[in-house]
Chain A
C-alpha cells in the first residue's frame, strides 16, 4: 500500500512519519508541496514542523500550495488523509477539518509525553485501537490550542467527530481537551500529538502511535 508523505519547506517530521509508515508495513511515496499532481497513492500523511516558518498563520501558506489542492480534491473523493501537528493546522486551513489551532493558552512551547483517550476507533486512522483506550504519545507544539465557536464545537461533539482527547492534563488550553478531530466521513483525521514519534521502544515513550499507521493500511487492504 502506497502512503504519500508530503514535505513542505520547514517540515520537520516527514522523515519520522515516513519511518512510521514503513514500520507499519506500508510503502512510502515522498511528495513535494510544489508539485501540481498527486501520484497514485492510497493515503496521504501531512507531517509536523513549521511549514513556511509559521508565517501569517501556522499552516496557512502550506494549505494553499499546488499539491494541497490535489490532496483536498482526493480527500473529498474519500482518500484518507492524516495531518499531524503542523499537518493538522494545514488541514484546518485547507478547510478539510473544522476549527483552528492557535497560540497555546499559556504562551509556552510544550513538549512532553501525553496520555490521550481514543474516542473514535472507527475512523480510517484509528481502527487499530479500541474505543475508550488510553494511549501515550509525545506532544510538542507552540500553537496547538484547538478553538472554534461554542456552536461549532457543540456540533462537532454532537456528530461524534472528536477522535482523541487529552487525558491527565491539557497541554495547550485546547477547547474541551480536544487533541484530534475527523471529517464527517471519518477519512480525514487531524492530530496535534505525534504518533510517529511513538513507534519504537528505543526512541519513543511507547509504541502506541503505530496504530494510526496500521489502521489505514488495514482499511486500504480490506
Chain B
C-alpha cells in the first residue's frame, strides 16, 4: 500500500521553545557540536490506490499543518 510521509515544522520566524529546551539538554549532555534544534511532527499516511497528490497536499495544508505558523513537506513512497 502506498505510504505518504508528511513532515511539519514551525516556520523559521516562529520561535520554538521545545527545540530550545532540547538544545539545552544536549549541551548539558556534552553534545556541544549541535547548535540548533527545531522540533516538528511526522505523519505516516497509508493510502489506498494511487495517491492523489493534490488531495494529499490539501490534507497536509488544511489539517496536518497550520500554514500560519508551520511549513509542511510531502514525501511519497511506494514501500
**Which A residues are closer than 8 A to B by beta carbons?**
56-57, 60, 64, 92-93, 98-100, 102-107, 147-150, 152, 173
Judge whether A107 and B66 touch: CB under 8 Å: no
CB neighbours of B15 from chain A (8 A): 105, 147, 173
> Are A100 and B21 interface neighbours, CB within 8 A?
no
Q: Mark B16-55, 1 if CB is under 8 A from A, else 0.
A: 0110010000000000000000000000000000000000
**Count the B residues whose beta carbon is within 8 Å of the partner chain — how many?**
13
Q: Which residues of B contact A152 (CB under 8 A)?
A: 68
Q: Does B68 lie within 8 Å of A148, measured CB to CB?
A: yes
Q: Are A64 and B63 in contact (CB under 8 A)?
A: yes
For residue B75, give the distance in angstroms from its CB to the closest CB of chain A. Answer: 19
Contact A107 B13 (CB under 8 A): no
A interface, by DSSP: helix, strand, loop or mixed? loop
Give the docked Cα–Cα distance between A30 and B21 (Å). 41
* A170 CA / B63 CA spacing, docked (Å): 30
Contact residues in B for A57 (Cβ distance below 8 Å): 66
Report the minimal beta-carbon distance from B17 to chain A, rounded to whole angstroms.
5
Given A64-B63, A152-B68, 15 additional A-B pairs, CB 8 A: A60-B63, A92-B68, A93-B66, A98-B68, A99-B68, A100-B66, A102-B10, A102-B14, A103-B17, A103-B18, A107-B17, A147-B69, A148-B69, A149-B13, A150-B13
